[in-house]
Structures are given as structure tokens and as C-alpha cells.
Amino acid sequence: MQIKRHPTKYMGNEYRRLVDENLNWEIRELQTANEPVCTVDGKEVIMLCANNYLNLSTHPKVVKAMIEATKKYGAGAGSDRSISGNMTIHEELDRHLAKFKRAPASLTYQTGFMANEGLVPQLCGRGDLFISDELNHGSIIDGVRLSHADRAIFKHKDTEDLVRVMDEAEKHKPPYEHIWILTDGVFSMDGDLAPLSEIARIAQEHGAGVYVDDAHGEGVLGEGGRGIVSHFNLSRDQVHVEMGTFSKAFGVIGGHITGGEDLRNFAYNKSRTWLLSGGVPPGVAAACIAAIEVLESEPQHVKMVWKNREYFMKAMKDLGFDTGHSETPIVPIMCGDSKTAKDLANFIWKKGIFALPIIYPMVARDKARIRTQLCTKHTKEHLDKAIATFEEGGKKLALI
Ligand SMILES: *Cc1c(COP(=O)(O)O)cnc(C)c1O
């Protein structure tokens, strides 16, 4: 037998194919802290593509908490939380998060990706069904793939289509034992919101579970940044798993889930990513606690990111840009084809504005865009410069 693919030649060939087709990801190098003005690849730029919505990654209280816990407890947890690495500070973080979310229980993971990949496949098995929004995040898609359950997709945010899928599912023989509806809370490429109240209502009618991934809504939506369940004023009986991350608005790293005590107990007994991988360093847990405390005691950060978002959004719309379906501090600047998006991204980059083009296959071929993300510490001057640069580039490329 002759194996067709040479192990490393394959990688080289595949990489060159991506480059040839203009699909390769070029990573840039951030040489300063992730702040509204930073140095990237040796160039000073205004940062318009960070998930650091509240700029908490450099908040003095968060940084201080990380340093102090590291001095006290060391650089690492020394083990998986399931073995001997479950430190008091991890438990404190779980409890503090649940309190912040006004829920019975939370469980924190090493990352949001690991929360989805660990928990989702445990919810449904053979004879069960996942129903997923077509634009859900890759970590949900991978989680679903790890399970033996059936899968169905509903059109993005389309609750009529969700009802159609549910009705189909009701006819399945033998009847499904469990059905879970999975949705992002804020969709990362468009900045639009899941119709969560309606999804919860449909789920309740059919006895299905609701799992929402609120990675981009955490710290931004809801009362004091409590997230999408708070935003829609839903109860833990309506949304059974609220998943989120500390790597975006909270400015640190770590995934989490919130719901009832049963969810927590189930999740840490079943999620392989939690059971079989190291716990986050104590400094990380302490920084996450501090970030939650900042949200509780300094409401101005959440207010400011929304203020900046409104200012930027209005100016871009007034100029005639298509800002898609944005409802959050993620504001896409729609460009049409990939080339226009890349050209506009290059233009603004040369003028000192950093935002990435989002192109096929991340979005449909004719829906290429530049995704901008606003943060708390953008000043009016930063935003005015970004707006003027977009105006110049948009006119040059006949977008406005
Ligand atoms: C970023 C993101 C994740 C992954 O979170 P990390 O904590 O960075 O691993 C999961 N889901 C969605 C929707 C995201 O945007």
C-alpha cells in the first residue's frame, strides 16, 4: 500500500494552497498592551478589533489581583481541578460569578471554547437532538460533532424556521428523549442578538433545553453587564445553560457556565475538558474575580462602551455606510466582495486604524466586511479619526 499524503509535504502544500487562494490568515504582532492606541507590527494604530470591550485587561485592580494571587499561590494550580488543583480561589470565582449572575450556581472552565467543547456533547447522545442556529460559533459546532445525537439547523435568528424544525422533530420515531436548542447570544460576525425570549418560549412548549453562548454579550448586555439572560429578563427555568467567557469584556481568560446546582454538578462530573486538563492559574482566577468586582462597583465602563458604540454607529450610518444588523459594540462595515473588504482594511491600516476584514469562508462570499469593535477607553478623538479614515477609504472604493 502506498499512502498518498506525505505528512509534512501535505502541510506545506495545504498552506500554499491557502495563500494562493487568498484564504490564509495573516497574524499580526501586538507589541504593547491591548489598549485603544497600541503598537502593532511596529506601527502605532487605533485598535478597533479587540474583544476587550471594557478595557479591563489593563484595569489596575484586575492587574493587581493577578500579581498578588500569583505571589501568594504560585504561577500554576499544580493539577487539574478534578485532582488536586481545585484551589479556594477557583471555588471563590465560581461562587462570585453565580452571585453576580443572580443564579444558584456557576462553574468556570479554562476557556470558553473548552466549556462548549466539554459540556455540549454531554447534553445529548444517541436518540437525542441538537437544534442549532446556522451561525453558531465553531466551539458549539465542534461540541455538537463530538456527540452521537442527531443535529438540525435553523436559519439564523429565524424562529419560524425553528418551529418548523421542532415540528419535524416531534414526528421523529422513536421520539427523541432530549432536545436542546443551542444559540449564540450575540453573533460575533454581525453583532446581532439571538431572539432568546422567543426561543425560550418555543423550547418550553416542547420541553426542550436552551443553551446560550453569550461570549460577546458578557460584560456588555443586561443590568450592569450581567449578560443576555439579564438583558431579556429570563429565568433559569427558561434558559438552562448560560455560557460565557472571561476572555472578552472581562479582559482575562476562562470560560464559564451558569444555571442550577444540578447543572454545575453534572458539568464538572461529565466535561472531559474540565476533568482532564489543568485548572487556570490562581492569578487568572483572582483577576477574573477582580473583573467581576469592577463591574459591580464601577458601572461607568459598561455605560461608556455603549456611548462609544452609539457615537460611532451614528456617524458611520450618517456617512452612508451599511452597518449590517449590529445591535451591540460589534459594528460590521459591509463591503460586499472580499477584495473590497481587504482593500478597505489595507487603506485604514496604512492610515493607522486597525480592524480586520472578515471574508469568505467566515462569512458568505458577498457579505465580506470589516468588523469593528468599540471599547470603553476609545476617546472622541480616536473615534473621529477612525470615522474620517473610513470616510476617505469608503469614498475611494465607492462604498459611500
Ligand atoms: C470567543 C468565543 C468563544 C470562545 O471563548 P474563549 O474563552 O476565548 O475560548 C465561544 N463562543 C463564542 C460565541 C465566542 O465568540
pLDDT tens, residue by residue, 19-73? 998 778 889 999 999 999 999 999 999 999 999 999 999 999 999 999 999 999 9
Regions of the chain where pLDDT drops below 50: none
24-53+299-396 has which fold?
Answer: Aspartate Aminotransferase, domain 1 (3.90.1150)
- Per-residue DSSP letters for 76-138? S-SSBTTTT---HHHHHHHHHHHHHHTSSEEEEES-HHHHHHHHHHHH--TT-EEEEETT--H
Residue 335: name the closest of 355, 315, 309, 318 by CA: 355
Angle at 86 between CA 84 and CA 88, to 5 degrees: 130
Closest-CA residue, ligand 1 atom 7, reads 112
Class of domain 60-297: alpha beta
In angstroms, what is the span from residue 252 Cα to ligand 1's centroid?
12
Q: Which pLDDT belongs to residue 1?
A: 64
Domain residue extents for the chain = 24-53+299-396, 60-297
pLDDT tens, residue by residue, 317-330? 999 999 999 999 99
In angstroms, what is the span from residue 45 Cα to ligand 1's centroid?
25
Q: Which of 144, 248, 252 to mutate to test the pocket of ligand 1 (most atoms within 8 A of CB)?
A: 248
Q: Residue type at 109?
A: Y
**Quick one: which atom of ligand 1 is closest to the CA of 112?**
7
Catalytic residue among 188, 230, 271, 338: 188
3-state secondary structure of 154: strand
**Quick one: which atom of ligand 1 is closest to the CA of 116?**
10
In angstroms, what is the span from residue 139 Cα to ligand 1's centroid?
7
Mean pLDDT in the chain?
96
Give the bridge partners for 217, in sequence order: none
Q: Which pLDDT belongs to residue 23?
A: 78
Closest-CA residue, ligand 1 atom 5, reads 112
Q: Residue type at 43?
A: K
Q: Which of 247, 284, 328, 358 to mutate to test the pocket of ligand 1 (most atoms within 8 A of CB)?
A: 247
**What count of other Cβ atoms lies within 10 Å of the Cβ of residue 82?**
15
Q: Residue type at 26?
A: E
Active site residue 216: yes
Phi, psi for residue 239 in degrees, rounded to 5? -120, 115
Active site residue 72: no
Task: Determine whether the shortest distance from the Cβ of 52 to ligand 1 is under 6 A.
Answer: no
**Quick one: which atom of ligand 1 is closest to the CA of 113?**
9
Task: Determine whether the shortest distance from the Cβ of 77 to ligand 1 is under 6 A.
Answer: no
Task: Determine whether the shortest distance from the Cβ of 372 to ligand 1 is under 6 A.
Answer: no
Active site residue 314: no
Task: Determine whether the shortest distance from the Cβ of 369 to ligand 1 is under 6 A.
Answer: no
Q: Which pLDDT belongs to residue 362?
A: 86
Q: Which pLDDT belongs to residue 246?
A: 98
In angstroms, what is the span from residue 245 Cα to ligand 1's centroid?
6
Instruction: Tell me if 329 sits within 8 A of 308, measured CB to CB.
Output: yes
User: Helices in the chain by DSSP H: which ranges?
Assistant: 7-20, 60-73, 88-101, 112-123, 138-145, 159-170, 196-206, 228-231, 261-270, 272-275, 282-297, 300-319, 338-350, 380-396
Q: Residue type at 385?
A: K
In angstroms, what is the span from residue 392 Cα to ligand 1's centroid?
33
Q: What is the pTM of this model?
A: 0.96
- What does the alpha-carbon distance between residue 285 and residue 94 come to, in Å, rounded to a whole number? 9
Catalytic residue among 248, 256, 378, 382: 248
- What does the alpha-carbon distance between residue 240 and residue 298 come to, in Å, rounded to a whole number? 29
